[in-house]
């Protein structure tokens, strides 16, 4: 079952409550929330205080993507508001295994994120403990960029490795996903598609989500 996670980064920030309602009506499976600290990536978005307020106004599960230098500091605040999925970048911390377990012990699904240029081989050992892998298909920091074509092969290799090893982690793809390229991303083996600008800038958000799903 393919799940679609619209990224709030492309929403109208002056009406986040209305945008949450719109995502509910459009049939979003998850809400992708990009947390940026202005240090790990050259942009600043929102943190736990804003997301805490949002959580009171929707029952769509949150898929929080931490683009921060110290992800460990964010585990408790996001656990407290009932976050379903929390991911951090492989490129940020040193103690990957410890962080994965800390996220899971706090009651969330733990994801590890790879920048486009980071090879999947670095995940060999943690693949057996992680709940999902998020493959970035743009360089993180901004919405509205173009999908990097070589990531499709990366998805396929990660899916093959999952099959060969009989593992159950999910594969999420984030960046430049549109109805035009979603088919090949799904066929390569992705389970969760993040889409920011494609959904929020579309005239018919529900139809766009259905197209991303392949319907």
120 or 129, CB closer to ligand DX5?
120
List all residues 6 or more positions away from 21 whose beta carbon is below 8 Å from its beta carbon: 57, 58
According to CB under 6 A, which one of 173, 182, 192, 198 is a site residue for ligand DX5? 198
Catalytic residue, candidates 37, 131, 174, 203: 174
Question: Least distance to ligand DX5 from the beta carbon of 174, Å?
Answer: 5
Q: Nearest to residue 68, comparing CAs of 21, 34, 24?
A: 34
195 binds, among Zn ion, ligand DX5, none (CB under 5 to 8 A by kind): ligand DX5
**Tokens 């793809």 sit at which residue?**
173
Does 34 interact with Zn ion (rule: CB under 5 A)? yes
Does 190 interact with ligand DX5 (rule: CB under 6 A)? no
Site string for Zn ion, 62-91 (x = CB under 5 A): ---x--------------------------
Confirm if 132 and 108 have CB atoms less than 8 A apart. no
Would you tell me how many other CB atoms lie within 10 Å of the CB of residue 25? 10
61 binds, among ligand DX5, Zn ion, none (CB under 5 to 8 A by kind): none
Indicate the residue whose CB is closest to ligand DX5: 196
Would you tell me how many other CB atoms lie within 10 Å of the CB of residue 53? 13
d(CA 154, CA 160) in angstroms, rounded, equals 10
d(CA 38, CA 193) in angstroms, rounded, equals 25
Site string for ligand DX5, 40-69 (x = CB under 6 A): -------------------------x----
Using alpha carbons only, what angle is made at residue 120 by residues 144 and 170, rounded to the nearest 5 degrees? 70
Binding site for ligand DX5 (CB under 6 A): 7, 9-10, 32, 34, 65, 138, 140-145, 174-177, 194-198
Which residues participate in catalysis according to the annotation?
34, 174
């Amino acid at each position: 079952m393919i799940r679609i996670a619209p990224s709030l980064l492309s929403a109208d920030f002056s009406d986040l409550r209305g945008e949450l309602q719109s995502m509910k009506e459009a049939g979003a499976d998850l809400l992708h929330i990009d947390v940026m600290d202005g240090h790990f990536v050259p942009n600043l978005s929102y943190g736990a205080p804003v997301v805490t307020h949002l959580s009171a106004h929707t029952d769509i599960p949150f898929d929080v993507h931490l683009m921060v230098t110290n992800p460990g500091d964010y585990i408790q605040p996001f656990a407290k508001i009932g976050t379903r999925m929390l991911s951090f970048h492989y490129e940020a911390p040193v103690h990957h295994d410890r962080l994965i377990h800390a996220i899971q012990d706090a009651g969330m699904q733990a994801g590890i994120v790879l920048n486009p240029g980071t090879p999947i081989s670095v995940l060999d050992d943690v693949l057996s403990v992680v709940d999902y892998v998020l493959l970035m298909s743009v360089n993180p920091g901004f919405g509205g960029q173009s999908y990097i074509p070589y990531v499709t092969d990366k998805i396929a290799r990660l899916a093959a490795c999952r099959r060969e090893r009989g593992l159950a982690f999910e594969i999420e793809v984030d960046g430049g996903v549109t109805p035009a390229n979603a088919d090949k991303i799904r066929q390569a083996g992705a389970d969760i598609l993040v889409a920011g600008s494609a959904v929020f800038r579309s005239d018919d958000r529900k139809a766009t989500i259905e197209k991303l799903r392949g319907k």
